[in-house]
Structure 1
């Protein structure tokens, strides 16, 4: 199952940018490892903002929820990380359905 994840990261006013970057560096390692494992299909950092977008391929919503709860950035900054999750469907499947409905 494919999902679009949109992460928006904030941090507490008592945390320095250096501390944030240390946590984010751990998160970057986790993301690259997940990409090598085939879980992360692709991941992007939005320029000029604390926003990351990823496409992931997992077996179930349960697995995705477990993965999200184990992310370093969620473990350390959970209340400051907003994640919007959208289930994705291959466009080819959608196109096939449309053609079947035309007949």
Structure 2
């Protein structure tokens, strides 16, 4: 199942810089592992914001929920999820 996910990160202004740096490094490592697994298919930065738009390819909404909760920055995110389905006019065979 494909999901469009927007994540807006809002770190507390009083968070120590070293704590923020550690969280960001841990988030990057987790993201790259999920990208290598094929579950996090695409990510795009939203210009001028600490936000991204991503496409996830997972087996179920529950799997997506668990994956999102496993992100180190999850406690500091506002997340919007939209399930996707293949458009009949798509030329791409890997759309599901």
Normalising by structure 1, we get a TM-score of 0.77
Q: State the alpha-carbon separation in 1 of the partners of residues 87 and 60 from structure 2.
A: 19
Normalising by structure 2, we get a TM-score of 0.82
Q: Deviations over 1:18-65 (max 9, x none)?
A: 532331221111111111111011112223210011100000001111
- The root-mean-square deviation of aligned C-alpha atoms, in Å, is 1.8
Q: Deviations over 1:63-86 (max 9, x none)?
A: 111111111111xxx1x3100000
In structure 1, the gaps of 5 or more residues are 96-103
Structure of larger gyration radius: 1
Structure number with the higher helix fraction is 1
Determine helix, strand or coil for the equivalent of 1:14.
Answer: coil
Q: How many residues align?
A: 90
In structure 2, the gaps of 5 or more residues are 90-96
Determine helix, strand or coil for the equivalent of 1:91.
Answer: coil
Deviation at 1:6, TM superposition (A): 0.3
Q: State the alpha-carbon separation in 2 of the partners of residues 45 and 69 from structure 1.
A: 20
